[in-house]
Amino acid sequence: MEIINPGTEDYHIHSLNFSDGLNTIDEIVKYAGEIGLTKIAITDHCQAYLDKRDFHRKTYYNIINRWENIHNEVEVVFGIEADVLNAKGDVSMDIQGKSSEFILLSSHPSPPYEEDPKSITEGYLNAIERYRDRITFLAHPCSVYYQDYIDIKPIIELCNKYDIPMEFNCVNLINNKTNMKNLELVLSECHYIYVNSDAHTLNELKNARNIGMTFLKEHGYLK
C-alpha cells in the first residue's frame, strides 16, 4: 500500500459556495495556508446530491474560472464529489452542468443512490468500468452507509486493476462512520491510498488528517 499524499496535501474539502461546507472557498484557502497545507482540492457535492437535498444555488459554478488565490501559495484544484446513482453505474459528476478532471467517486444513502441498496456493489463496479479514465479516487468506500450491502473485495480488485486509489476518510473515522473491517481490507489490499479530511469545517481541515495519520502509524500502516 502506498499513500499518495503523506505530507501537506488534502484532496477532499467542502465549501459553502457550492455545497454543504461551513466556510467559503477563500476562507478555506486562507486557513489552509495558515496551517501549512501546500495543495488542496475543493470537492463539492455533485448536482444530483444537491438537487435531492434541496441545496439552493448561491452563485454560478462558472465563477471558479475567474477565481485566483490571492492569499498565499497554496495550490488549489476544483474537483467534484460524484455520486453513483444506480446499478448500471450512472454517475452524477457535474455541478450546474460543469464537470472537472478531478472526480471523487462516492455514494450516499438514497437519495442520490436511486435503487435497492443491495445493488450498490454492482453500481460501483459498473461505474468504475465505465468511468475509470475519469475517476481520480474512490471517496470513503468504507463508510457505514452501505456496510450491510457492499462487498468491498471486488471493488478493491477492480481499483487495483485500473490503478485507481481509494480514500482513507479521516472525518468518517473520527465520527465513527467507518466500517472498520472494510477499512482494514482497503488499507491492507489496496495499492494506492489517499488520506483526506473530507472537511466541512475549518477545525476538520486542521485536525482530521493528523488524527488519521496517527491512526495509520499506530496500526502499523506507516513506516
Q: Would you say 81 or 122 has its CB closer to Zn ion?
A: 81
Overall residue count recorded for the chain in this entry? 223
Residue 167 and residue 213: Cα distance in Å, rounded? 13
The mark string for 147-186 relative to Zn ion (x by CB under 5 A, - otherwise) is: ----------------------------------------
Q: Would you say 81 or 83 has its CB closer to Zn ion?
A: 81
Residue 41 and residue 214: Cα distance in Å, rounded? 22
Q: How far is the CB of 220 from Zn ion (least distance, A)?
A: 27
Q: How far is the CB of 74 from Zn ion (least distance, A)?
A: 19
**27 is a site residue for Zn ion (CB under 5 A):** no
**114 is a site residue for Zn ion (CB under 5 A):** no
Q: How far is the CB of 223 from Zn ion (least distance, A)?
A: 28
Residue 176 and residue 102: Cα distance in Å, rounded? 27
Residues 6+ apart with CB under 8 A from 55: 19, 20, 45, 49
List 83, 122, 167, 198, residue binding Zn ion (CB under 5 A): 198
C-alpha cell at 118: 443491495
Which one, of 77, 66, 93, lies nearest residue 42 by Cα?
77
**20 is a site residue for Zn ion (CB under 5 A):** yes
Q: How far is the CB of 60 from Zn ion (least distance, A)?
A: 20
Peptide bond into 111 cis (omega under 30): yes
List residues binding Zn ion (CB under 5 A): 14, 20, 81, 198
